[in-house]
Structure 1
Amino acid sequence: MPHEQFLAKQEDRRSGLRALRAALLKVHKEVIALNRVEYERLHGPIPAGLFVQVVTEETYFRWLDPLSRLIIEIDEELDAPEHHDETCKAVATATEKLFGPDSDPAFRDRYQQALQDESGVIVAHGQLMKVVAQLRQLV
């Protein structure tokens, strides 16, 4: 493969991974916002400065760990000097699995509830699935 084609392919993969990361972050943000409302209904208001600590330490939010780990994996891939088809496929597959019917029941059940309860989650999920499909076309 000529060097120019290689560079173009690398940029396409990098753009696809960035788009996937952004879509996952949007889903994460929407789900956390919904869960914050529910959590505060049970435990009272949380000052903005303490909310990140609550999200990272409270068991109420542990179900989001698989989503957070997937975002971290993409961050690590984006830090790599080169991006390979296999890695892009693996990330797309991991995303499909996480949001599919065979995902961890703790995640799947809470996520399905969020999809039913919040239109912002539905929109973010739809955008995420489009990005996954686009990433699959790159490889």
Structure 2
Amino acid sequence: MTTDTCQQLRRALLDLHRALVDLERGDFEKRHGPQSAGEFLQVMAFSEDMRWLEPLSRLITMLDEAIDGAADAAATPRAVAQRARDLLGLDRDSVDPFKQRYAQRFDQSPPLVHAHAAAIAALKAVGTVAPG
């Protein structure tokens, strides 16, 4: 996988993560009122309600490490792409917390659908395709 392809996948996953965080923040602020960036960062870091995002966060971290040379630059991006393909498969019958919440969010948000499509395109560039 080329560095450009790896960077494209990273950007696509970051945009997807950002879209999910925006949805979570909107819902959280409806229940708890407006939050500063720092306050919401604390919620993201320590709230059990946000743990479902960890699999995607870990994949982005793994790509960052591969790009920076701290991990196997050839194997890591491919492993990340395979895991991302699995996570983004829109399996509405899954018992996995990420997959359940992701499918629910997907059905609620056109911006998330757009970010999903970009992530799927990046996965295709890597040579892996997610269903959905």
TM-score computed with the length of structure 2 as normaliser: 0.85
- Fraction of identical pairs, as percent: 34
Q: Which stretch shifts more, 103-112 or 34-43?
A: 103-112
Query: Which of 36, 53, 59 in structure 1 is aligned with 2:42?
Result: 53
Q: Which stretch shifts more, 111-120 or 48-57?
A: 48-57
Query: Which of 111, 115, 118 in structure 2 is aligned with 1:124?
Result: 115
The structure number with the bigger radius of gyration is: 1
Whether the 8 Å contact between 1:13 and 1:83 is mirrored in structure 2 is: no
- For residues 64 and 49 of structure 1, the distance between their equivalents in structure 2, rounded to whole angstroms, comes to 18
**Hey, what does 2:27 align to over in structure 1?**
38
Q: Structure 2: any 5+ residue segments left out of the alignment?
A: none
Q: Structure 1: any 5+ residue segments left out of the alignment?
A: 1-11
* Equivalent residue letter for 2:63: I
* Cα drift, residue 25 of structure 1: 0.4
Q: Does 1:133 align with 2:124?
A: yes
Superposed CA deviations along residues 80-138 of structure 1, whole A, max 9, x for unmatched, are 18732x4433221111012123976200111011111111000000000000000118x
- For residues 106 and 96 of structure 2, the distance between their equivalents in structure 1, rounded to whole angstroms, comes to 15
- Describe how 1:77-88 pairs up with structure 2 within 5 A: 77-80=66-69, 83-84=73-74, 86-88=75-77
Q: Does 1:27 align with 2:3?
A: no
| The structure with more helix, counted as a fraction of residues | 1
- For residues 34 and 128 of structure 1, the distance between their equivalents in structure 2, rounded to whole angstroms, comes to 17
Whether the 8 Å contact between 2:66 and 2:77 is mirrored in structure 1 is: no
The ranges of structure 1 where at least 4 consecutive aligned residues each deviate by more than 6 angstroms after the TM superposition are none
TM-score computed with the length of structure 1 as normaliser: 0.81
Q: Which has the higher contact order (CA 8 A, sep 6+)?
A: 1
- For residues 103 and 92 of structure 1, the distance between their equivalents in structure 2, rounded to whole angstroms, comes to 19
Partner of 2:107, secondary structure, is: helix
Whether the 8 Å contact between 1:17 and 1:78 is mirrored in structure 2 is: yes
Q: What is the aligned length? A: 125
Whether the 8 Å contact between 1:16 and 1:135 is mirrored in structure 2 is: yes
Partner of 2:35, secondary structure, is: coil
Whether the 8 Å contact between 1:63 and 1:106 is mirrored in structure 2 is: yes
* Equivalent residue letter for 1:57: F
